[in-house]
Amino acid sequence: MSSPLLALSDVRHSIGSKRILAGIDLSLEAGRIYGLVGPNGSGKSTLLKILARQLTAESGRVLLEGKEFGEWPGRAFARKVAYMPQFTPATDGMTVRELISLGRFPWHGALGRFTAHDRSLVDAAIARTELGDFADRPVANMSGGERQRAWIAMMLAQDARCLLLDEPTSALDLAHQSSMLSLLQSLARERQLAIVIVLHDINLAARHCDELFALNAGRIAHRGGPDAIMQTDVLQAIFGVQMGVFAHPATGNPVSYLL
């Protein structure tokens, strides 16, 4: 078995006197897509921010490729891990190509020369996310689904090994939600990426993720493949409401519903 790309051991975090995460252990391998699920306030976004080094864990160990997070210089870390927050920053009149090109910053810095190799990676990211017709458009003029694809393309141009996304489907319609998650699922396989996504929709998570980590009150209450999590007793324990599960007649995938 290969060593994990990212690993957390007994990670804890508080804000003031309020415990947000308590005793988190997990490992993430390349080529797989992971879903962080659970009720509001369970610690999902905080955990993702710790993985992205946007927050420093109060205690415990966080390793990237077997090396402590604190031992990684900033640009070296950014070459390995890409992060998309729930609310993406303003694009200030940038075109899609300009936004995607920012993904190359960790590789050459603010004063470095943008090389032919950089351009080829940007072009490849545009092609893979099917944004060729939008490349010279202002990002602000795009639909929500198109903007999200542009941010994913920026992460691809960054050429990172781990992609972290906080609720990337929250502002999208059903078609764009499924399209985005299918794209990420394919990218995990094609590029041998570890992808971690915070999702509120347990059915979307079960359909597109290889493994689910269900948080409740700052702890990982349950973990496993979709079939293990999509059980009535497990879902009730996670979300605190009665839920039923049936097999989708077309795909056989488990689908949950409120009772």
- 83-104 pLDDT, tens digit per residue, is 999 888 888 889 999 999 999 9
Confidence category of residue 249, pLDDT binned at 50, 70, 90: confident
The pTM of the full predicted model, rounded to 2 decimals, is 0.93
pLDDT by residue (tens digit) across 32-79?
A: 999 999 999 999 999 999 999 999 999 999 999 999 999 999 999 999
Instruction: Kindly provide the b/e burial profile for residues 134-150, where b requires at least 16 CB atoms within 10 angstroms of the residue's own CB.
Output: bbeeebeebeebbbbbb
Q: CB count, 10 Å around CB of 105?
A: 17
pLDDT of residue 198 exceeding 90, the answer is yes
Rounded Cα distance between 114 and 105, Å, is 9
What is residue 144's predicted lDDT score, i.e. its pLDDT? 85
- Give percent of the chain with pLDDT exceeding 90: 77
Beta-ladder partners of 112: none
State the sign of the Cα–Cα–Cα–Cα dihedral 139, 140, 143, 144: positive
Confidence category of residue 145, pLDDT binned at 50, 70, 90: confident
Average pLDDT value for residue range 137-150? 90
Confidence category of residue 110, pLDDT binned at 50, 70, 90: low
CATH architecture of 6-80+160-258: 3-Layer(aba) Sandwich (3.40)
**Per-chain mean pLDDT for the chain:** 92
Average pLDDT value for residue range 187-214? 95
What is residue 34's predicted lDDT score, i.e. its pLDDT? 97
Q: Where are the domains of the chain?
A: 6-80+160-258, 90-159
For the chain, the three-class secondary structure string (H helix, E strand, C coil) is CCCCCEEEEEEEEEECCEEEEEEEEEEECCCEEEEEECCCCCCHHHHHHHHCCCCCCCEEEEEECCEEHHHCCHHHHHCCEEEECCCCCCCCCCEHHHHHHHHHHHHHCCCCCCCHHHHHHHHHHHHHCCCHHHCCCEHHHCCHHHHHHHHHHHHHHHCCCEEEEECCCCCCCHHHHHHHHHHHHHHHHHHCCEEEEECCCHHHHHHHCCEEEEEECCEEEEEECHHHHCCHHHHHHHHCCCEEEEECCCCCCEEEEEC
Query: Cα 70 to chain center, whole Å?
Result: 21
- Under a CB-based contact definition with an 8 Å cutoff, are residues 103 and 158 in contact? yes
Confidence category of residue 174, pLDDT binned at 50, 70, 90: confident
What is residue 253's predicted lDDT score, i.e. its pLDDT? 83
Confidence category of residue 2, pLDDT binned at 50, 70, 90: low
- Under a CB-based contact definition with an 8 Å cutoff, are residues 128 and 160 in contact? no
Q: Which two tokens stand for residue 33?
A: 């897509």
pLDDT of residue 234 exceeding 60, the answer is yes
What is residue 128's predicted lDDT score, i.e. its pLDDT? 93
- The side-by-side arrangement of strands in the sheet containing 67-68 is 18-28, 6-15, 59-64, 67-68
